[in-house]
């Protein structure tokens, strides 16, 4: 309670939870102990929890009345060879064995060997009742800078109160995510970003070419417009507006196609990497691309539009 009170005293902290933790091995209950038992990281969390949102794939999440119930990472369940409703034996070194029923499977990319159980039951099995080992804190502002600042403040608070934390620079959600992305995923992300830039440039060049051909085919029309009093600025605005219209139409056409394309790409990357990636559509990214296409369309239209303003009435009317 003292540890929780110190954390809750920080103005940026909205909720605090103490979790238990143990390392051990898991195997089907009907199988004898062997060297093939799978290593697992056992997390004992309060139920219900406010600092963890599970992504369930099968079964259900832990309930307040659960005792010897466990929710496994689906990858861990595959290694053990169990599913929802099966019983597993948990063997924690220097502790007694215990039997748990699998009530659910979840997806978690950060820890594929994670098993989630009720905290009180785990602490009873490890003979550490009232002694949790992990402090989980949720902050009011969930950006990287705010999380890092709160983590640094809390370390100072605890050290000032004679409590030392085993924490490092990767003890925030954003830091953990950055570490994951700094590996192979970062390379893939960079390649996809480079492809997007190349496609955008090619699209801009193509749009400029289409508008240039359009100007050549409409020389007589442009000459007539100039003859009846259209200024160079009006012709320039007209062609830039046509370029913008074409760019926005391409954005509207690509918008509904981007969702299935993104899902297929995510599925393919998951198969290549041997893991599971979650596809999430970004409305912010959609607006970013609208802004990018707007700028590209204007830039691509400038040269054809300037060429159109230099066409004289005599040249345009004499053009065959």
Question: pLDDT tens digits for 191-230?
Answer: 888 998 999 999 999 999 988 888 877 777 777 777 787 7
For β-strands 13-28 and 87-91, DSSP reports them as antiparallel
Higher per-residue confidence, 140 vs 103: 103
State what percent of residues in the chain have pLDDT above 70.
Answer: 87
Kindly tell me the burial class for residue 110, based on how many C-beta atoms sit within 10 Å of its own C-beta (0-12, 13-18, 19 or more): exposed
What is the distance in angstroms between the CA of the first residue and the CA of the last residue of the chain? Answer: 89
Residue-wise pLDDT for 234-283, tens only, equals: 888 888 999 999 999 999 999 889 889 888 888 887 777 666 677 788 88
User: What is the distance between the alpha carbons of residues 72 and 56, in angstroms, rounded to a whole number?
Assistant: 10
Structure tokens at 144: 């990287």
Round to whole Å and give the CA distance between 189 and 177. Answer: 14
Average pLDDT over residues 22-33: 89
Please report the pLDDT score of residue 169 as a whole number. 47
Measured between alpha carbons, how far is residue 216 from residues 176, 221, 275, 281 in Å? 56, 10, 53, 41
- Least confident piece of the model among 1-5, 118-122, 175-179, 260-264: 175-179
Mean pLDDT value across residues 123-151 = 77
Looking up tokens 């005792």 gives: 67
| Angle made by CA atoms 205, 206, 210, in degrees to the nearest 5 | 120
Q: What is the pLDDT of residue 172?
A: 63
> Mean of the per-residue pLDDT values for the chain?
82
Mean pLDDT of 27-48: 89
* Whole-number Å distance between alpha carbons of 263 and 281: 9
Q: Of how many residues is the chain composed?
A: 320
pTM above 0.85, yes or no: no
Q: 129 CB contacts (<8 Å, ≥6 apart)?
A: 120, 123
Which residues touch 279 (CB under 8 Å, ≥6 apart)?
Answer: 262, 263, 266
Q: State the Cα torsion 242-247-252-258 to the nearest 10°.
A: 170
pLDDT level of residue 142 (50, 70, 90 thresholds): low
Q: Are 204 and 197 in contact (CB under 8 A)?
A: no
Q: Please, which contacts does 59-63 make with residues 24 or more away whose CB atoms are closer than 8 Å?
A: 59/84, 59/85, 59/102, 59/103, 59/104, 59/105, 60/103, 60/104, 61/104, 61/106, 62/103, 62/104, 62/116, 62/117, 62/118
pLDDT category, 170, cuts 50, 70, 90?
very low
* Higher pLDDT, residue 253 or 320: 253
18 to 2, 43, 44, 141, 308: CA distances (angstroms): 11, 11, 9, 21, 71
């Amino acid at each position: 309670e003292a540890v929780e009170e110190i954390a809750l005293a920080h103005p940026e902290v909205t909720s605090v939870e103490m979790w238990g933790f143990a390392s051990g091995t898991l195997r089907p209950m009907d199988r004898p102990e062997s060297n093939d038992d799978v290593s697992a990281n056992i997390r004992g969390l309060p139920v219900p929890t406010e600092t963890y949102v599970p992504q369930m794939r099968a079964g259900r999440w832990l309930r307040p009345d659960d005792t010897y119930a466990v929710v496994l990472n689906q990858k861990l369940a595959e290694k053990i060879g169990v599913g929802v409703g099966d019983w597993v034996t948990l063997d924690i070194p220097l502790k007694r064995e215990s039997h748990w029923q699998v009530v659910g499977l979840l997806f978690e990319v950060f820890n594929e060997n994670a098993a989630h159980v009720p905290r009180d039951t785990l602490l009873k099995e490890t003979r550490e009742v009232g002694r949790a080992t992990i402090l989980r804190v949720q902050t009011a502002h969930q950006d990287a800078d705010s999380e890092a600042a709160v983590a640094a403040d809390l370390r100072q608070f605890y050290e000032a109160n004679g409590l030392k934390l085993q924490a490092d620079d990767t003890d925030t959600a954003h830091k953990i995510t950055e570490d994951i992305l700094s590996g192979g995923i970062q390379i893939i992300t960079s390649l996809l970003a480079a492809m997007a830039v190349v496609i955008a440039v090619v699209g801009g060049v193509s749009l400029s070419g289409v508008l240039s051909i359009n100007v050549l085919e409409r020389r007589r029309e442009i000459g007539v417009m100039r003859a009846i009093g259209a200024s160079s600025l009006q012709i320039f605005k007209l062609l830039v507006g046509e370029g913008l219209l074409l760019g926005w139409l391409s954005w509207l056409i690509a918008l509904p196609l981007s969702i299935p394309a993104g899902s297929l790409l995510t599925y393919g990357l998951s198969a290549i990497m041997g893991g599971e990636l979650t596809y999430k559509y970004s409305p912010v990214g959609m607006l970013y691309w609208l802004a990018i296409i707007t700028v590209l369309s204007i830039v691509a239209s400038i040269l054809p539009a300037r060429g159109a303003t230099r066409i004289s009435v005599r040249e345009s009317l004499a053009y065959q």
